[in-house]
Chains A and B, each alone.
Chain A
Amino acid sequence: MKKTILKSRLLSKSFAHNGEQVHILSGVDLEIYEGDFTVIMGASGSGKSTMLYALSGMDKATAGSVIYNEKDIVKMSEKELAKLRYSDFGFIFQQMHLVSNLSLYENVVVSGYLNKKCSASEVRSRADELMKRMGIDHVKTNLPSQVSGGEQQRCAIARAVINQPKLLFADEPTGALNRKNTTEVLDLLTEINRSGQSILMVTHDIRAALRASRLLYLSDGNVIGELVLRPYEQSEEKSRETQVNAWLNSLEW
């Protein structure tokens, strides 16, 4: 029996557009399990990213609840949310979003320094270790603008995991990358997941979806399909792809 790490109940999100209410999420009930590599798929405009941001507390839901550690993060204060971000959650953006005037290394350690659980020297040694693991230690003193998109995204991953979050959110982490960099980033995420890290990722890229242990399909603001897979093995990629494609086709993707 898997342990639930994050749970949403009747999660809704709507925006006012030209005077009309547009409903992006319509009462989503969802559970995310510890240790899973959960991937949310869906057509463009289906509300994948919106759901990810609402689940992670980056954006306020219009209605419903998101329970983490028995607390509703929808009702959390800004201070509580900030603590959640630097201690329990990690986030990877599609556009990397590194602070442009900090070096790659500094981008990672600044997030580490926020979490007072570790000393500054521990943060630095963990950052060194992560950057080595991500293969970007040779460019760690460079500014984001001086490295490739793949290196930037690997740095963003290092930043996201520096505080050893309980749950790592990733919003189309390969969306802005070329094929080579995409594979590198996905390999990294797979490796992190194998070491026990829970991941919730949004993507519309089938190659990225293949890494999942659980696939969810979002349509019209609701989860309409779920596919549970075995942990990813590169050798099984072909058969996995067939399985996922079949599932997606059944959902009229």
Chain B
Amino acid sequence: MEILTLLKANIRRRKGTFISIVILMFIISMALNLIFSVRKSCDDSLNEAYSSANSADITVMLKDVLFTDEMRQKLDDEAIIDHYTLTPSAVISYGVESEKVSNKNSCFFTPLPKGIKLVNKECNGLEENIPPLSEGEIYMSYGSKSRYKCDIGDKVTAHTISGDYDFTVKGFVVEPMYGAMVIGWKWMFVSQKDFDMIMAENSKENSDDHWGTGYFVQLYKSDDCTLSDGKIRRQVNLDTDIISNAWGATTKSESMHYTNIYQDIILGILLVFILILAVVVLIIMGHSISTGIEMDYTNLGILKSQGFGNFRIRLFIMLQYIIAEVIGSVLGIFCELPLTRLVTRVFEPISGCITQTHHAFGKTFLYLFVILGVSVVFIYIITHKVCKVSPIRAISGGRNEIYFDTRIKLPISAKLLSSTLALRQFTSAKRRYFASVLIAAILVLFMLMVNALSEAVNSRTAGENMGMDIRDIVFSFDEMTQKDKIDKIVETVEEHAAIRRKNFSLGTYISVNGEEVYCRMDMYPEDIMTSKGRAPLYDNEIVITELLADELDIKLGDTVNIAKFDNHEEFIISGIYMSMSDMGRAAAINTDAGEKLGLHKHTDHGSIMLEDETKAEEAKAALEEEYGDSIKVTLGKDDDDDAIYDTAVKVIRIIIYTFSLFFAFIVVSMMSSKAFTQEKNDIGIFKSQGFTTGRLRLQFAVRFFIVSVFGALLGTLLGMLFMNKLITILLRGIGVTNFYTPLTPASVLVPAAAISICFFLFAFLVSRRIKKIGIRQLITE
């Protein structure tokens, strides 16, 4: 009961601190529940879609003729495979073109299978039934809506080896395996009649170079198989050679990874940020408790003299903070509930999956429980100071008023009186401001990180260094084109602009030591940028990404078994290179090496990166004049795929900046509140000497500015040292194994300046209370 009475009194007296902790925990719990609930909603909804569509553990796409009786037999004998299904598919080799977007990625058409769900017209839910398709109609995946920028009723054209076929979009469906916007290949659905017609026409045109009829072989693992999807695929390939012969094979876990990659990265970055903010809350609480004990020295001494033990005193201090945390957490979770649906909706056009809201209370509670547990331990340690409170000393006038530790003798200047006094107040109580410095540093570090991400998305140098294809001029050929013709095109470009890098290649899947890996056969292998070793100049050389090297446990100089169709060759790893193709799980060889594997030395697309991108227009004009309509030339800057990533980074930037500034405000407001109480006397003295409120407020704001400048410097230094590593960990999932930060002076200075200015402004704002502090308190009646 006595603890309850003290608790109530303390909360009443320190309601500012109490409310601040409630608000901070409110934000943290709300953000945590949002992150986990969005993730759970996306994952569960995708799993429901896989289940409804009866998606296989591994989906293999291959030429129908390659699915031989022998392969069929081997699959039947495969112990880890329970069963498989075979779905004939028409291969749309040259991609699908909408009214707004032409995409060269291959697509696969089949009649509509069972279990595929139709997205409703409002795009916010699923229809109960899916109407059958009539002739000339097509169902596209919901992710295609964003990828092809098309809508219901729009015309799309499928470019196949047997000609072009026009369709009207009847609707969008949830096709879980390849439906996401970020996945290149697409599985689309047409009427049985159209399908039969395309299959028949394509069959007539099938040749070694071009093949237009294939199978989806869907493999379902045995119930007792405990291997991961990746290991099953490897084992099946070693046993049957099906993957080596395939255009590609996708596991369900890969599909899930690719489908949710966008939100996983954004939510991952936010999760790290929120957990760091939880640490910030601990720091704030630590500071608040520590100064609270100093300021309450006399009262605590009196309590001790009345028989309160250290444990009881520590308990009621702890309880007041834990109660604030609990209230903030509960409110946060409660207020987050409507947000999950709003945020998942943002991701739906990218993942191509309509999500049902699932709240991840369990995980949120677990994290909050850990945060509360850490808080309890932390507060218990911090309140150890209570044990040192002496009742005798407290009753005889309290603790000595000196609350500063050391003193750096920086002179007080007449000209810069406010600033030098502010500096003195900071240097004479460094320990008190340590928490603020640390918090400012953390906030600046995160703002720097998000700036680095933003710069990386927009920077050519960063993109190039991280393995992105920087495309100033993009080529699309109507038919497969040989290198001699491409050489001439390159020459034309060179006459108008210096070329930095050329990428004319054909992508395919090959088997590396039994693992299916995306591989690009490059006509200009010398332009492949390696981080270790060198480009694959000879026909027995291959370069792989760091991610792949780690996954397959292979390194530079190792010999690997490469297989494609029935060709098996040994290659030497000549280099490690950066690529974000297939989320960083990629390899590259030259065209001679490709030929050894039975692949053709031609391509129907390519791109060029110029030394000076402003010359691209001029080169494009020259190409159009020389080649007319025989090649399609577009400018990379018109390609708006990057805009999506740019938007995502902008969203993260807004969130992190907003949270940072909000936290800065709470921090400044809490620290100021303590400072006012501690320095009430000094403020009165200064006023008695002729300092105006305005001058004292300025002095106060300058002090927090100095604190934030130290924090900003520390944060910037930490950023320089660790930022790349931290971002690399976060972005490894999309194939970035060595994040390159192209930070400009502006992007370094902006976070530091933003935090410093905000600390200054917030401190000036909250220092309005100085006006209320009068000289009267100095009077001893």
Contacts and interface: CB of A to CB of B under 8 A. Distances in A.
Interface of A: 45, 49-50, 53, 58-59, 78-79, 82-87, 91, 93-95, 97-102, 106, 109-111, 113-115, 119-120, 123, 143, 145, 159, 171-172, 175
A106 B412 contact: yes
A113 B417 CA distance: 8
B360 interface: no
Given A45-B781, A82-B691, 12 more contacts: A49-B780, A85-B688, A93-B778, A94-B780, A97-B685, A97-B778, A99-B685, A100-B402, A101-B424, A110-B421, A145-B401, A159-B689
Interface in B68-94: none
9 contacts: A49-B780, A58-B775, A85-B690, A93-B688, A98-B685, A100-B403, A101-B425, A143-B402, A171-B780
B779 A59 contact: yes
In this complex, the member of A101, A145, A159 whose beta carbon has the largest number of chain B beta carbons within 10 angstroms is: A101
Contact of B689 (A49, A86, A100): A86
Given A49-B780, A97-B688, A110-B421, A120 B402 contact: no
B720 to A, nearest CB: 34
B688 A110 contact: no
B230 interface: no
A101 B412 contact: no
B779 A172 contact: no
A79 B692 contact: yes
A110 B401 contact: no
Contact of A97 (B415, B684, B776): B684
A101 B415 contact: no
Contacts of A106: 412
B402 A110 contact: no
Nearest to B690: A86
Contacts of A98: 685
A53 B776 contact: yes
Contacts of A175: 780
B774 interface: yes
Given A93-B778, A101-B429, A120-B415, A145 B689 contact: no
Interface string B673-690: 000000001101111111
A173 B690 CA distance: 20
A93 B681 CA distance: 12
A111 B689 contact: yes
A120 B411 CA distance: 12
Give the one of A93, A94, A100, A119 with max B CB within 10 A: A100
B570 to A, nearest CB: 75
Contacts of A119: 414
Contacts of A171: 779-780
A109 B407 CA distance: 18
Contacts of A97: 681, 684-685, 688, 778
A143 B428 CA distance: 11
Interface-central residue, A49, A102, A143, A172, by most chain B CB under 10 Å: A102
Contacts of A50: 779, 781
A78 B778 contact: no
Q: Which of A49, A85, A159 has the most CB of B within 10 A?
A: A85
Contacts of B691: 82, 114
Contact of B424 (A86, A102, A109): A102
Given A50-B781, A98-B685, A111-B689, A123 B414 contact: yes
A183 to B, nearest CB: 21
A113 B414 contact: yes
A119 B414 CA distance: 9
A175 B415 CA distance: 36
A145 B427 CA distance: 17
Q: 4 tightest A-B contacts by CB?
A: A86-B690, A120-B414, A101-B428, A85-B690
Contacts of B415: 120
Given A99-B686, A101-B428, A114 B417 contact: yes
Contact of A58 (B412, B428, B686, B688): B688
A43 to B, nearest CB: 12
Given A59-B779, A101-B407, A83 B424 contact: no
Contacts of A58: 688, 775-776, 778-779
Interface string B766-778: 0000000011101
Interface in B680-727: 681-682, 684-693, 695
A171 B413 CA distance: 30
Nearest to B771: A78
A171 B693 CA distance: 24
Contacts of A59: 774-776, 779
A26 B685 CA distance: 28
Given A91-B688, A102-B412, A114-B417, A145 B779 contact: no
A87 B307 CA distance: 53
A80 B688 CA distance: 13
A107 B698 CA distance: 19
Given A53-B775, A100-B401, A110-B421, A83 B690 contact: yes
Nearest to B428: A101
